[in-house]
Amino acid sequence: MSFRNRLNYKVSGLQNTQIKTQVKNVLNEIEGVQKVNVDLARGSIEVGFNSATDENEIKEGIERVGCIIE
């Protein structure tokens, strides 16, 4: 699977596996998102996506589950 774009977000609020699952579920629903990696220990989210994806949708999805992008 190849994707054109990759973003890494440093976030606060990744406290447990439940929030990790919520983040992954929200981001996987966005058109064009092909990969979501959530690292609880580092407080980071990596998103791989293609040109159909709106970066603002990614940010809004992360914030909708209660995380704050730093």
Residues 6 or more apart in contact with residue 54 via CB below 8 angstroms:
30
Q: How far apart are CA 3 and CA 1, in angstroms?
A: 7
The residue with greater pLDDT, 44 or 1, is: 44
pTM of the entire structure? 0.91
Query: What mean pLDDT is predicted for residues 1-30?
Result: 92
**Structural domain containing residue 51:** 5-69
CATH number for the domain including 23? 3.30.70.100
**Which tens digit of pLDDT belongs to each residue from 29-53?**
999 999 999 999 999 999 999 988 9
Phi, psi of 26 (to 5 degrees): -65, -45
Dihedral of the alpha carbons of 25, 44, 61, 19, in degrees to the nearest 10: 50
For the chain, the domain total comes to 1
Q: Which two tokens stand for residue 37?
A: 């990696």
